[in-house]
Amino acid sequence: MINIRHSSSLLILFAASICFAQAPSTSDYSFTISGAQTWTDTGVDLASGDALTITAETKAGSESGCNPQGVPATQSGDQLPLSSTPAGALIAKTSEKAGPTVIGNSGDLAAKEAGHLFLGLNENSPSGCAFAVKVKLAHSATAPAAAAKTPTTQTGMKDKLSSAAQVFLKGQFGGGNAASQTQANSAVGANKRHS
């Protein structure tokens, strides 16, 4: 007779492992973005569908007036990477050729294609501003990199669950050789016929 408590434990383990295997992975990064250059390649690889949440604050020791939101009193101009955004604001793009997006103190960004995360200041000349930036990257479950890893994860999980089930069944029905298991199965079948 199968122990119901062990069966439900195995079922719970199986369900939890499926949920774990399908959860999108997340990564956290921290950067100091300096106004000494317009763009900084963070080295963070992005896949199509990845979602980013970015927060920033002025780093101690920056020039006065530095703010990730930019300086509203300054004139925006055509020479700025993002002319519609105040000068000095934190901006981002998902590849070297992508158009910039304003982030300010915080913002969300989605990668439409594979690339790298670039962060910068919306300025046309170097400054003494620096921002402490935190990035939370959620890899899309539909991203090619995640899709390529999923079969390996599921196959590995399937093998682990199969092994766990075999161990469980051996504990319930005994762990003899194949001949004695066949006899046991026949005996069970014979008992059913006589009942």
Neighbours of 61 (CB within 10 A): 8
pLDDT-derived band at 152, boundaries 50, 70, 90:
very low
User: Are 163 and 126 found together in one domain?
Assistant: no
**Does residue 166 or residue 137 have the better pLDDT?**
137
Confirm if 66 and 56 have CB atoms less than 8 A apart: no
Confidence check: pLDDT of 173 > 50: yes
pLDDT digits (tens, 9 = 90+) for 51-75: 999 999 999 999 888 999 998 766 5
Confirm if 126 and 39 have CB atoms less than 8 A apart: no
Q: How far apart are CA 32 and CA 180, in angstroms?
A: 68
Range of the domain at 180: 143-190
**Does residue 5 or residue 162 have the better pLDDT?**
162
**Residue 195 falls inside a structural domain:** no
Q: Which of 140, 159, 181 is the last residue of a domain?
A: 140
Neighbours of 145 (CB within 10 A): 17
Confirm if 33 and 119 have CB atoms less than 8 A apart: yes
- Name the 3-class secondary structure at 25: coil
Q: How far apart are CA 127 and CA 133, in angstroms?
A: 17
- Tell which residue, 20, 41, 37, 39, has the closest CA to residue 29: 41
User: Are 135 and 157 found together in one domain?
Assistant: no
**Residue 38 falls inside a structural domain:** yes
User: Are 155 and 86 found together in one domain?
Assistant: no
- Name the 3-class secondary structure at 58: strand
First to last CA, the chain: 16
**Residue 8 falls inside a structural domain:** no
CATH classification of the domain holding 54? 2.60.120.430
pLDDT at site 1 = 52
User: Are 76 and 108 found together in one domain?
Assistant: yes
User: Are 103 and 57 found together in one domain?
Assistant: yes
pLDDT at site 158 = 61
Q: Which of 119, 140, 161 is the last residue of a domain?
A: 140
**Residue 10 falls inside a structural domain:** no
**Residue 51 falls inside a structural domain:** yes
Confidence check: pLDDT of 156 > 60: no
Which letter does DSSP use for residue 129 in this model? -
**Does residue 23 or residue 180 have the better pLDDT?**
23
**Residue 6 falls inside a structural domain:** no
User: Are 46 and 101 found together in one domain?
Assistant: yes
Domains held by the chain: number: 2
User: Are 45 and 87 found together in one domain?
Assistant: yes
pLDDT at site 58 = 96
Which H or E element spans position 169?
helix 144-173
**Residue 15 falls inside a structural domain:** no
User: Are 81 and 159 found together in one domain?
Assistant: no
User: Are 93 and 180 found together in one domain?
Assistant: no
User: Are 77 and 59 found together in one domain?
Assistant: yes
User: Are 183 and 126 found together in one domain?
Assistant: no
User: Are 175 and 80 found together in one domain?
Assistant: no
pLDDT-derived band at 77, boundaries 50, 70, 90:
low
**Residue 20 falls inside a structural domain:** no
Q: Average pLDDT in the 114-138 region?
A: 95
